[in-house]
Amino acid sequence: MAGKFEEALNNQQKVILFWYPKDFTFVCPTELHAFQAALPDFEKRNTIVIGASCDTNEVHFAWLNTA
């Protein structure tokens, strides 16, 4: 994530940094899909989106492999 944030600062981009509760919850995919669908609009506005949660890398990996 540090690389993306530094890249945004160097390119004078805006940053939306959001946290989601946890993987494997109902809210998580709903919010993530909404941000994913809106990415082209954010890019047009010179904005990057970074999402974060408190889950471990192992949990993220397991969650990604269930899709």
Domain ranges of the chain: 1-65
Give me the pLDDT at residue 18, please: 87
Does the active-site annotation cover 28? Answer: yes
pLDDT band at 52 (very low <50, low <70, confident <90, very high): confident
Tens-digit pLDDT profile for residues 1-38: 567 777 777 788 898 988 888 888 877 677 888 889 99
Average pLDDT over residues 31-48: 92
Cβ contacts of 63-67, under 8 Å, gap ≥ 24: 63/23, 63/24, 66/24
Q: Provide the whole-model pTM.
A: 0.70
Average pLDDT over residues 51-64: 88
Rounded Cα distance between 34 and 20, Å, is 12
Please check whether residue 48 is in contact with residue 12, taking contact to mean a CB–CB distance below 8 angstroms. Answer: no
Give me the pLDDT at residue 24, please: 84
Among the listed residues 15, 28, 32, 59, the single catalytic one is 28
The answer to whether domain 1-65 has CATH 3.40.190.10 is no
Rounded Cα distance between 10 and 57, Å, is 27
